[in-house]
């Protein structure tokens, strides 16, 4: 009779367990870095959104100021501006004290001249919601857009008389840290010509 030799099983050394634990560790590290990356990308997207909202608010105030200037420049005498007024209350002002001479930088808001803590004109477009920072939601703005019209003097072109104005406008996003400032130079001519006249 032939009997086969019985062998004792070799002792296992746990290579498969160690390999699978190392692979699990690598996959976990990759997953954590991906989640961190997604969080950073979400913050960047939110900041870009707020930046665009602030810029759109500043541009809306600038466009309103330009339209207001076209309609009212002839009837207004530039005055020394020392307060913040509201365009929504049908108020406006053309300032004889140029903003760039009295503030260290027009990008530092709110604008202040002398003892006045803030100067300019606020304008809240009809579709805009302004709420305090503590009550601000995703759709509201923390402050109303503001503009400042400086009288820069007469036009340099004597053949076309007019007055030059500098318009600075600031818009806010959902918090006080998100601000955009835009600036334009605007000329209102006091003479006009008719292209289709005989």
Q: For the segment 71-85, what is each residue's pLDDT rounded down to a tens digit?
A: 888 878 899 998 999
Residue 10 belongs to a domain: no
Q: What is the pLDDT of residues 114-151, one digit of tens each?
A: 877 889 999 999 888 888 655 556 678 999 999 999 99
Quick: pLDDT tens for 15-47.
888 888 999 999 999 888 887 777 788 888 888
Give a yes or no: residue 148 inside a domain. yes
Residues across the chain? 198
Pairwise CA distance, residues 47 & 124, whole Å: 22
Q: CB of 145 within 8 A of CB of 61? A: yes
Query: pTM for this structure?
Result: 0.75
> Is residue 5 assigned to a domain?
no
In a domain, 52, yes or no: yes
- Buried b / exposed e across 86-108, counting CB within 10 Å, b at 16+? ebeeeebbbbebbbeebbeebee
Domain that holds residue 29: 15-189
Task: Name every residue whose Cβ is closer than 8 Å to that of residue 60 and which is 6 or more positions away in sequence.
Answer: 123, 125, 128, 145, 171
194 inside domain: no
Number of structural domains found in the chain: 1
SS3 of 163, please? strand
**49 vs 41: CA distance, rounded Å:** 12
């Amino acid at each position: 009779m032939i009997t086969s030799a019985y062998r004792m099983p070799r002792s296992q050394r746990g290579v498969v367990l160690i390999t699978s634990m190392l692979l699990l560790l690598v996959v976990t590290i990759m997953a954590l870095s991906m989640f961190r990356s997604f969080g950073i990308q979400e913050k960047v997207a939110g900041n870009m959104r707020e930046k665009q909202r602030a810029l759109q608010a500043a541009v809306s105030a600038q466009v309103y100021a330009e339209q207001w200037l076209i309609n009212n420049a002839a009837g207004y005498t530039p005055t020394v501006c020392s307060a913040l007024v509201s365009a929504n209350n049908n108020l406006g002002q053309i300032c004889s004290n140029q903003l760039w001479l009295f503030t260290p930088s027009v990008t530092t808001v709110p604008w202040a001249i002398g003892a006045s803590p803030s100067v300019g004109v606020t304008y809240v477009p009809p579709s805009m919601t302004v709420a305090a920072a503590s009550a601000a939601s995703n759709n509201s703005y923390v402050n109303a857009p503001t503009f400042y019209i400086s009288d820069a003097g007469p036009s340099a072109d004597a053949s076309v008389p007019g007055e030059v104005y500098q318009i600075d406008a600031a818009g806010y996003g959902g918090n006080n840290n998100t601000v955009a400032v835009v600036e334009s130079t605007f000329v209102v001519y006091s003479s006009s010509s008719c292209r289709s006249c005989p």
